Structure 1
Amino acid sequence: MWAKLKASKIKRAVEKEFRQVRKSLNVNEEYLNALRSKAYSDFLNKAKLMVNQHQSFSLYCHNKFSETLLEPGQESIPTILESALILSKIPELKTLLLKYFDISAEASNFCSHLLKGINQIQSNYLYVRGVLDEVNDHQDYSPENVKLIVSELNSLFLVGINPFSNPNKLDFKTIHEKYSSVLLCLKSMRKKVGKRIKLIKYVQNAFGICMTSTCGIITILAMFLAAHTLTVIFMGPAIFNFPFKCLAKKISSLPFLRSEFLRKVGDQLDLAAKGTYILTRDFDTISRLVASVHDVLEHNKAMLQSCLERKEYKICLHVVRELKKGDLGFRKQVEELEEHIYLCLVTINRARSLVIKEMIPSTTAHLDESRT
């Protein structure tokens, strides 16, 4: 018995691990597909062109950079929301969506700030790489040469201040809290809209049952009268020609029984909630990558300073060779962080565009309903 329980426990653990691996593979596949998409490629080319047009990214205001890359522009959002009649009927939704667009614009601006830091790291590491490329793994160096290399590398690390020197000061936590708050509000409102749609469906179904029952009762009454009186000869045509279908259609078209309007509101809330959830997940990933890049930079700086303090030839040579060995891996880390940030910017723009796209046709449809 104990053997069976143990085997069952092991089987569940293996299945759980398999599900986690499969989930990880799906996420990686989703990430790679996103990088191959035309939207990402076009956006990346646009951003790179803007960066290359300026000799130093730091001289180019990252706020302006963010404003240019943000689509649709934040300055146009209030006008779009004002023109959407669907929002005039639900002021709470308008306030919530305005908050959603404000936070997504803030997130875009934050991403441009991170890109500025990445550009700074890449520029500094061009010089570091130049020094490391001169180091040959199979060549013997004199203590003076090693000391000179370490000193040069240390000066480059000191000049190139770590742009992520204090990750705690970065606004990851603030943005995460804001997105989480908006996501809760979107889910709450979507739940209320869903309940309202269900209620309308119940009322419509109940009305249909009542109409069917009424028709049946009238038919039975007509048959009863036919058996006892000639009144049915005069009442029959009037009863059977009564426009039950028109009456049902008019009643179901009453404003409080319309669910199409609420479905469009629900679609907007779904799109905004989905975009918010994806961006929250993206920012968690970016936060981990930034912390990883920060740790590598601080570790390299600490090793070089330790070499200068201890002045031991063999240790210094080992440190320099370790730096050269880890250089390629570090560059890939920075590139991965850059890719995720650009992908996050694309996601921000796509989510904003989808919400507005859903808003515009709903406005047109509501105008048509108002005219009829």
Structure 2
Amino acid sequence: MLSYFDISAEASHICCNLLKSISQVLSYYQFIQRVLDIKDGDSFETFQVVIFELNSFTYSNDPFSNLKTDDFKLINDKHSSVLCHLKSMRKRVGRKIKLMKYLMKTYWFCVTAACALVAITAMVIATHTLTAVILGPAILCFPFKHLKRELRDCKVSRKGSLDKVYEQLDIAAKGTYILNRDFDTMSRLVARLRDEIEHNREMVQFCLDRKEDKLSFQVVKELKKSDIGFRKQVEELEEHVYLCLVTINQTRALVIKEMKRSV
């Protein structure tokens, strides 16, 4: 369980870094908006503003620079490893629970049969002796029910503990699986955004190197075409990050709740 809490904390840290990156991407989007507000028939001064904005963009930092290239791969590998471990532990505990159920049924039958056999044997012996009057009531008063109840409670307590452990492992395993899937999705979204930003940066740099007015406005047109799709990608990534954080917090809360119940 400690390994689950470790990777969920690491996942939360990466999500927070992603939110910072998204904030930088949104500032990049504000640059796009300023450029898109410029029209073909605007003055030379307006064109100079375009050039300045384009230059600013080419020198801007990569918004995802706080995330290493292998971060998603490493966290996915850790999630997969922990998930396999949790599933294995859950399977072992599940087998123990089934075995406990079988032993409880068998043990209950054996105890009941043994108690009945002892009582019958004692009564048969007692009927052939002069102490029947004394032994009979004593045997009948022997606390067979109390003994069976104590044994049953012991077994139920052990099974209840295993059930709680199984529930903890089940919640953690499901949460880890969802996290692994969410991070796989987010890694693809980040890669797409990185490619889109880099493509726009290269296109702008090419335009600035050629220093042609028509090319500058052509770049603006291309940015307009990709603007809506770019915004949707940013919104989709942001939504997945927040959902991932919600999943982490909910799963951790459920696991802690189950652990408190077992104390």
TM-score, structure 1 normalization: 0.61
CA distance in 2 between counterparts of 1:350 and 1:285 reads: 20
CA separation of 1:220 and 1:203: change in aligned 2, threshold 3 A:
same
> Residue 99 in 1 paired to residue 9 in 2?
no
CA distance in 2 between counterparts of 1:302 and 1:183 reads: 41
Tell me the equivalent position of 1:248. Answer: 148
CA distance in 2 between counterparts of 1:207 and 1:165 reads: 63
Q: Which residue identity is paired with 2:174? A: K
Q: Deviations over 1:35-92 (max 9, x none)?
A: xxxxxxxxxxxxxxxxxxxxxxxxxxxxxxxxxxxxxxxxxxxxxxxxxxxxxxxxxx
Identity %: 53
What's the CA shift for 1:284? 1.0
Bigger Rg, structure 1 or 2? 2
Q: Which residue identity is paired with 2:14? A: F
Unpaired runs of 5+ residues, structure 2, are: none
Tell me the equivalent position of 1:93. Answer: none
CA separation of 1:132 and 1:231: change in aligned 2, threshold 3 A:
farther
C-alpha contact (below 8 Å) 1:279/1:344 kept by paired residues: yes
TM-score, structure 2 normalization: 0.83
Q: Which residue, out of 248, 258, 279, partners 2:179? A: 279
> Residue 320 in 1 paired to residue 228 in 2?
no
Unpaired runs of 5+ residues, structure 1, are: 1-96, 364-372
Q: How does 1:44-63 map to 2 (within 5 A)?
A: none
CA separation of 1:165 and 1:116: change in aligned 2, threshold 3 A:
closer
CA distance in 2 between counterparts of 1:314 and 1:341 reads: 40
CA distance in 2 between counterparts of 1:242 and 1:206 reads: 23
Q: Which residue, out of 29, 33, 37, partners 1:125? A: 29
Q: Which residue, out of 115, 131, 148, partners 2:19? A: 115
Q: How does 1:18-57 map to 2 (within 5 A)?
A: none
Tell me the equivalent position of 1:195. Answer: 95
Q: Which residue identity is paired with 2:219? A: V
CA distance in 2 between counterparts of 1:109 and 1:168 reads: 13
C-alpha contact (below 8 Å) 2:21/2:66 kept by paired residues: no
Tell me the equivalent position of 1:334. Answer: 234
CA distance in 2 between counterparts of 1:290 and 1:350 reads: 24
- The higher relative CO (CA closer than 8 Å, separation ≥ 6) is in 2
Aligned length: 262
What's the CA shift for 1:321? 0.9
CA separation of 1:285 and 1:231: change in aligned 2, threshold 3 A:
farther
